[in-house]
Chains A and B, each alone.
Chain A
């Protein structure tokens, strides 16, 4: 069974500081990994995803994440935080399906609320 662990339910950084949100996964087969962001009273928006190929993935709004198989991690980083980055971030995992339309449900972590202070 797949699972995702996000370390730290709340992270606070100063504006301009490095953002690091941690995600570790458990999967018995090669995973597909996603980071989604949820702003207050809104749905989830995809930041980036890893499927195959290059392990360093760049996403929107200056975020990136690196897939490290040996560490079963997919941490999200941004070099310089901005006030507009304050939101809840969710790491999610799914895995390869052989048949079109076969279940590819996302298994989410519990989320990390990012606070950005002046």
Chain B
């Protein structure tokens, strides 16, 4: 158990819908990262937050957005869903003070299926 929790574990929805994925980082971790894992794209970085502020964006679609709240939990919002958005979405957290070398601890993921 990494200490990172993600809900829900599975999500099945229809095209055009909007969903919210939730992540609670390990106690004491200030950085939260979101990654997408799909068969065709592999593991791709989406976005990072540090202590409530967005710090980096990767290959994140404009239909997707995220935020980190004062209690440090994070939510990833996916809207106007398409079939191609079906994937495993991981949240990871790290202490965030070591300039890149700190370990990122991954949650169990949310499997999103868009029908």
Contact = CB atoms under 8 A, between A and B. Distances in A.
Interface residues of A, number: 30
Contact of A94 (B43, B97, B100): B100
Interface of A: 32, 34, 36, 42-46, 49, 51-52, 90, 94-111
20 contacts: A36-B106, A42-B109, A43-B106, A44-B90, A44-B106, A46-B103, A46-B105, A90-B43, A95-B100, A99-B99, A101-B30, A101-B50, A102-B56, A103-B48, A104-B100, A104-B102, A106-B33, A106-B43, A110-B42, A111-B42
A42 B9 CA distance: 11
B68 to A, nearest CB: 11
In the complex, which range does the number of interface residues on chain B fall in?
Answer: 20 to 34
Given A43-B109, A100-B96, A110-B42, A105 B56 contact: yes
Nearest to B6: A43
Interface string B32-61: 010100000011110010110101101000
Nearest to A36: B106
B106 A97 contact: no
